[in-house]
Amino acid sequence: MDVFRVTGSRPLRGSIQTCGAKNAALPLFAAALLTDETVTIENVPELSDIRFMADIMRHLGATVERTEPTTWAITAGRLTPHAPYDLVRKMRASVCLMGPLIARLRSAVVSLPGGCVIGPRPIDLHLKGFAGLGCGVSIEGGYVHIDGRHLRGADLFLGGRHGSTALGTVNVLMAAVLAPGTTRIESAACEPEVVDVCRMLVAMGAKIEGIGSHALVVEGVERLHGATHRVIPDRIEAGTYLLAGAITGGDVTVEGARASDLAALLDKLRECGVPIEAPRPDCLRVRADLPHTRRAIDVITMPHPGFATDLQAQMCALMSVTPGLSILTEKVFPNRFMHVPELQRMGADIAIEGPSAIVKGLPRLSGAPVMASDLRASAALVLAALAAHGESWIQRVYHIDRGYERIDLRLQKLGASIERLPAEAMPRHLSAE
Ligand code: EPZ
Give me the sign of the Cα torsion angle 21, 63, 106, 227: positive
Q: For a ligand 1 pocket test, name from 50, 121, 128, 330 the mutation site with the most ligand atoms within 8 angstroms of its C-beta.
A: 121
pLDDT, one tens digit per residue, over 394-405 is: 999 999 999 999
Residue 426 has pLDDT above 70, yes or no: yes
Following CA atoms 211, 214, 218, 224 in sequence, which dihedral angle do they give, to the nearest 10 degrees? 50
- Measuring CA to CA, which residue among 304, 306, 312 is closest to residue 191? 304
pTM above 0.75, yes or no: yes
Mean pLDDT of 150-167: 97
Residue 396's SS3 state is coil
For 331-370, the pLDDT digits (tens) are 999 779 999 999 999 999 999 999 999 999 999 999 999 9
SS3 for 65-125 is EEEECCEEEEECCCCCCEECHHHHCCCHHHHHHHHHHHHHHCEEEEECCCCECCECCCCHH
160 lines ligand 1 (CB under 6 A): yes
Q: Encode 261-284: b = buried (16+ Cβ within 10 Å), e = exposed.
A: bbebbbebbeebbbbbeeeeebbb
The dihedral built from the CA positions of residue 88, 93, 96 and 97, taken in this order, carries a sign that is negative
**Does the pLDDT of residue 427 top 90, yes or no?**
no
Using CA atoms, how far apart are residues 14 and 67, in angstroms rounded to an integer?
Answer: 31
Whether the CB of 328 sits within 6 Å of ligand 1: no
274 alpha carbon – ligand 1 mean position (Å) = 29
Does the Cβ of 129 fall within 6 Å of ligand 1? no
> What is the C-alpha separation between 27 and 5, in angstroms, rounded?
34
| C-alpha 226 chain-centroid distance | 26
Atom 30 (ligand 1) nearest CA:
122
Say what the pLDDT of residue 185 is.
98
Cα(165) to centroid(ligand 1), Å: 6
User: 322-333: buried (b, 16+ CB within 10 Å) or exposed (e) per residue?
Assistant: beeebebbbbbb
Q: What is the 8-class DSSP label of residue 310?
A: G
Average pLDDT rounded to a whole number, residues 176-194 = 98
Distance CA 320, CA 347 (A): 9
Task: Determine the distance separating the centroid of ligand 1 and the alpha carbon of 18, expressed in angstroms.
Answer: 22
Residue pLDDT, tens place only, 39-88: 999 999 999 899 999 999 999 999 999 999 999 999 999 999 998 888 88
Q: Is the CB of 335 under 6 A from ligand 1?
A: no
Q: Is 50 in the pocket of ligand 1 (CB under 6 A)?
A: no
Residue spans of the domains in the chain: they are: 2-19+233-425, 22-230
Q: H or E stretch including 337?
A: none
Instruction: Report the alpha-carbon distance of residue 343 to residue 289 in Å, rounded.
Output: 24
Q: Whose CA is nearest to atom 42 of ligand 1?
A: 165
Other C-beta atoms lying within 10 Å of the C-beta of residue 303:
21
CA 293 to ligand 1 center in whole angstroms: 35
Summarize pLDDT for 89-112 with one digit per residue, the tens: 878 898 999 999 999 999 999 988
Cβ 5 under 6 angstroms from ligand 1: no
Provide the pLDDT for residue 63: 98
Closest by Cα among 236, 375, 355, 364 to 299: 355
Q: How far apart are CA 167 and CA 84, in angstroms?
A: 19
Cα dihedral 67/72/77/82 (nearest 10): 130
Distance of CA 124 from the midpoint of ligand 1 (Å):
12
Best residue for ligand 1 mutational test, from 22, 44, 167 (most atoms within 8 Å of Cβ)? 167
What's the CATH code, domain 22-230? Answer: 3.65.10.10
Distances (CA, A) of 412 to 14, 35, 241, 253: 10, 42, 12, 14
* 283 belongs to the catalytic site: no
pLDDT at 335: 79
Q: Which atom of ligand 1 is nearest to the CA of 123?
A: 40
Of 165, 194, 300, the residue with max ligand 1 atoms within 8 A of its CB, to mutate for a pocket test, comes to 165
pLDDT of 115: 63
Does the beta carbon of 306 lie inside 6 Å of ligand 1?
no
Going by C-alpha positions, the residue among 89, 95, 74 that lies closest to residue 171 is 95
Q: Is the CB of 226 under 6 A from ligand 1?
A: no
Question: For ligand 1, is residue 355 a contact (CB within 6 Å)?
Answer: no
Closest residue CA from atom 10 of ligand 1: 166
Superfamily of domain 2-19+233-425: Enolpyruvate transferase domain (3.65.10.10)
Between CA 244 and CA 251 the distance in angstroms is 10
Name every residue whose Cβ is closer than 8 Å to that of residue 282 and which is 6 or more positions away in sequence: 233, 255, 256, 257, 258
Query: pLDDT digit string (tens) for 236-288?
Result: 999 999 999 999 999 999 999 999 999 999 999 999 999 999 999 999 999 99
Q: Which residue in 19, 96, 116, 198 is the catalytic one?
A: 116
Residue closest by Cα to atom 16 of ligand 1: 165
pLDDT interval class at 114 (50, 70, 90)? low
Is the distance from the beta carbon of residue 415 to the nearest atom of ligand 1 less than 6 Å? no
